[in-house]
Amino acid sequence: VIPVVTTIFGAAYAVQPGYGIGFEKDIYLWIPVLGNIVAVIVIPYVGNLSDKIGRKPPIIIGSIVSGLLSFVYLYAISIHSVPLAICMSILMWGIVYQGYNAVFPSFYPEMFPTRTRVSGMAISQNLGTLVTALLPALFAYVAPPGAMDIPFTVGCITLGVTVVAAIAAFTARETYRVHMADLGNPNAVPVPKRAYDEARDKLMSASR
């Protein structure tokens, strides 16, 4: 939902004459470019952090905070502030959202045992993509050109989706200290943190 708000609905809201904002298209196109550049830098650090503190905290924080920032991002567009819109898009998408985006490719597959891991990830991910693919149509329906409080309306839907994602992560099992052979087993016991940290440090030293 965050990339949809940033690059699809946000772009339409910013550049289409019907919304009355009138951003220049060539200026607005820098928003996803800069967001992706920052994301490429941030992702390895978030991934490394999830190996230290767990998968769930970055996902939960990244989901909720990016949902909250969507209000400010859309508000920046509504007041015709290009610098604020660019800064908020980088903060929302390029930095905060990566708490979710950098970790879910590990977290989701780790929910499933080895025999069903690829299918479990592929089916659930594509069902989720199917739902989010319909969001631009929903946004256009509830916030058409001329509608009042577009940032608030779209922001509420965005925050609602990100809260659902955060609740799902909060109620899921933590997987970062579970042995690979035990992933997908709801009764698996995580490796003690000290032993996990020692093994991780040895692996990192060997890789250098």
Residue 34 contacts residue 82 (beta carbons within 8 Å): no
What the block records as the tokens of 137 is 């149509």
Question: For 122-161, how does the pLDDT look when each residue is reduced to its tens digit (9 = 90+)?
Answer: 999 899 889 888 999 999 899 888 788 899 999 999 999 9
How far the first Cα of the chain sits from its last, in Å, is 37
Long-range CB pairs of 49-53, under 8 A, 24+ apart, other chains included: 50/102, 50/103, 50/106, 50/107, 50/176, 51/176, 51/200, 52/197
Can you list the residues of the chain whose pLDDT is less than 50? none
pLDDT at 119: 92
Question: For 75-91, how does the pLDDT look when each residue is reduced to its tens digit (9 = 90+)?
Answer: 998 888 888 998 999 99
pLDDT at 20: 66
Helix, strand, coil % (nearest 5) of the chain? 80, 0, 20
pLDDT at 74: 93
The full set of domains in the chain, from first to last, is 2-176 (1.20.1250.20)
Q: Residue 47: what residue type?
A: G
**Which residues of the chain form beta strands (DSSP E)?**
none
